[in-house]
């Protein structure tokens, strides 16, 4: 029945003279997400993106297109000749399926006439098509313009006619690659993948840096983070992940600094290292999954001390979110089940019994004077491993 998929965008439509840049990028990203399918044609027409699906499974295509940031909704549709009688028959066929397979009992018709040469206005089309459907299904279906079980959408255009009955929500946002690049500090927890996803939704390309403490942390814990990066790649495209062993730095902190400062000092090293890698990789911001007060390193005082070591913006999209909201989004995007797999991470190594929760910057800086900060950072980056993660 269906031979095309319609992808709609929202915010892109108000971009003015450079709208075509966002549209073209959206088309490119949709094509990338559909590269496993053959004989597809993706193109734009009248403020929409169309995909000619040929013999491909439209449901699989819809699942992939929904993940593309910038797409607000997707519909499987039938494109016909510009023949009104064919359009009416196709609308009836779709309404019949809704009744027989979904048990629908009420409907309405919404029509659009873009070919002004056509004799009926849009409201007249809706009345006529609705009457035609009722004449065939009147014993099973009735009109409800306020709260129908489904809506039949019918369009008469100059070159063709289109009809569809379903709209599946996308995530909206802006196409990846239209708003620069940022580096996410990606752990194996719940929050940082969600933070990366939220920033990527605004059109930001993502790279990731993961800190581990091998051999105190296992290879399995690193694989877990790679699995999270693979999920993110479904939405963001390929993700370059940099793995940094923090253990030598943690040992130095443990030997030379107060135990209660381990967490905040480690965090400052992570931020320094992430920023240095970010600048080398042309990333202009960092992303973290921090949320106010969630753990000792996420009090306002701790965040201020952490921020003091970097000079590029730090995006914290989860900062004011409740944990339940973060978990809900993690489940929706597919990272939650991976995040809750019990594996140790670098933050559990040398974990102090009573970490400082309101650190003073001058005291933390004083502790760092006992360390060769630059050498430790350079050594960590020199031994870094980088890998391109695909969906």
Long-range contacts of 144-151 (CB under 8 A, 24+ apart): 144/106, 144/107, 144/108, 145/108, 147/106, 148/106, 148/107, 148/108, 149/98, 149/102, 149/104, 149/105, 149/106, 149/107, 150/95, 150/98, 150/102, 150/104, 150/107, 151/107, 151/108, 151/109, 151/110
User: Quick one: how far is CA 344 from the chain centroid?
Assistant: 26
Q: pLDDT of the chain along its 391 residues, tens only? A: 899 999 999 999 888 888 999 999 999 999 999 999 988 999 999 889 999 998 899 999 999 999 999 999 999 999 999 999 999 999 999 999 999 999 999 999 999 999 889 999 999 999 999 999 999 998 999 999 999 999 999 999 999 999 999 999 999 999 999 999 999 999 999 999 999 999 999 999 999 999 999 888 888 999 999 999 999 999 999 999 999 999 999 999 999 999 999 999 999 999 999 999 999 999 999 999 999 988 777 899 999 999 999 999 999 999 999 999 999 999 999 999 999 998 777 666 677 788 898 999 999 999 999 999 999 999 999 999 999 999 8
CATH code reported for the domain at 181-389:
3.40.50.620
Q: Is 211 annotated as a binding residue?
A: yes
User: In 3D, which of 71, 83, 41, 84 has the Cα closest to residue 167?
Assistant: 71
Flag whether 298 is marked binding: yes
Determine the pLDDT at residue 13.
Answer: 85
The annotation status of 150 as a binding-site residue, yes or no, is no
Give the separation between CA 388 and CA 390, rounded to whole angstroms: 7
CATH class of the domain at 1-81:
alpha beta
Q: Convert the pLDDT of each residue in 20-76 to its tens digit.
A: 999 999 999 999 999 999 889 999 998 899 999 988 999 999 999 999 999 999 999
Domain positions in the chain are 1-81, 82-159, 181-389
141: annotated binding-site residue?
no
User: In this predicted structure, what is the pLDDT of residue 47?
Assistant: 86
The pLDDT assigned to 348 comes to: 66
Strand partners, 244: 211
Domain 82-159 has CATH 1.20.1090.10: no
Is 63 one of the annotated binding-site residues? Answer: no
Residue 185 among known ligand-binding residues: yes
Q: What angle do CA 267, 272, 278 make, to 5 degrees?
A: 120
* 237 labeled part of a ligand binding site: no
pLDDT given at position 244: 97
Contact 380, 246 (CB under 8 A): yes
């Amino acid at each position: 029945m269906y031979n095309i998929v319609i992808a709609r965008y929202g915010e892109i439509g108000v971009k003015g003279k450079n709208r075509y840049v966002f549209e073209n990028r959206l088309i490119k990203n949709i094509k990338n997400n559909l590269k496993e399918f053959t004989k597809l044609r993706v193109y734009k027409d009248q403020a929409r993106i169309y995909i000619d699906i040929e013999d491909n499974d439209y449901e699989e295509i819809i699942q992939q297109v929904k993940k593309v940031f910038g797409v607000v909704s997707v519909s499987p549709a039938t494109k016909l000749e510009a023949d009104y009688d064919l359009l009416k028959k196709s609308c009836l066929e779709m309404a019949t399926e809704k009744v027989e397979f979904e048990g629908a009992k009420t409907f309405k018709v919404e029509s659009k006439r873009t070919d002004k040469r056509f004799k009926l206005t849009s409201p007249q089309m809706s009345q006529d098509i609705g009457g035609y459907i009722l004449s065939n299904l009147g014993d099973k279906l009735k009109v409800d313009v306020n709260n129908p079980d489904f809506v039949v959408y019918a369009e008469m255009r100059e070159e063709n006619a289109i009809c569809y009955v379903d709209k599946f929500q996308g995530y909206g946002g802006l196409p990846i690659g239209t708003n620069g690049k940022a580096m996410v500090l990606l752990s194996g927890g719940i929050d940082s993948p969600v933070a990366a996803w939220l920033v990527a939704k605004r059109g930001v390309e993502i790279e990731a840096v993961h800190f581990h403490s091998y051999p105190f942390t296992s290879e399995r814990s690193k694989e877990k983070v790679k699995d999270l990066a693979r999920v993110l790649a479904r939405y963001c495209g390929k993700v370059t992940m940099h793995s940094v062993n923090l253990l030598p730095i943690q040992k130095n902190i443990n030997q030379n600094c107060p135990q209660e400062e381990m967490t905040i000092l480690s965090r400052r090293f992570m931020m320094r290292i992430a920023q240095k890698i970010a600048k080398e990789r042309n990333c202009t911001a960092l992303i973290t999954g921090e949320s106010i007060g969630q753990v000792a390193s996420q009090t306002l005082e701790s965040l201020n001390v952490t921020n003091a070591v970097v000079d590029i913006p730090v995006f914290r999209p989860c900062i004011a979110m409740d944990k339940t909201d973060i978990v809900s989004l993690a489940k929706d995007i597919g990272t939650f089940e991976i995040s809750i797999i019990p594996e140790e991470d670098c933050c559990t190594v040398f974990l102090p019994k009573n970490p400082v929760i309101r650190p003073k910057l001058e005291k933390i800086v004083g502790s760092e004077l006992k360390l060769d900060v630059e050498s430790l950072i350079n050594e960590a980056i020199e031994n870094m491993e980088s890998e391109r993660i695909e969906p």
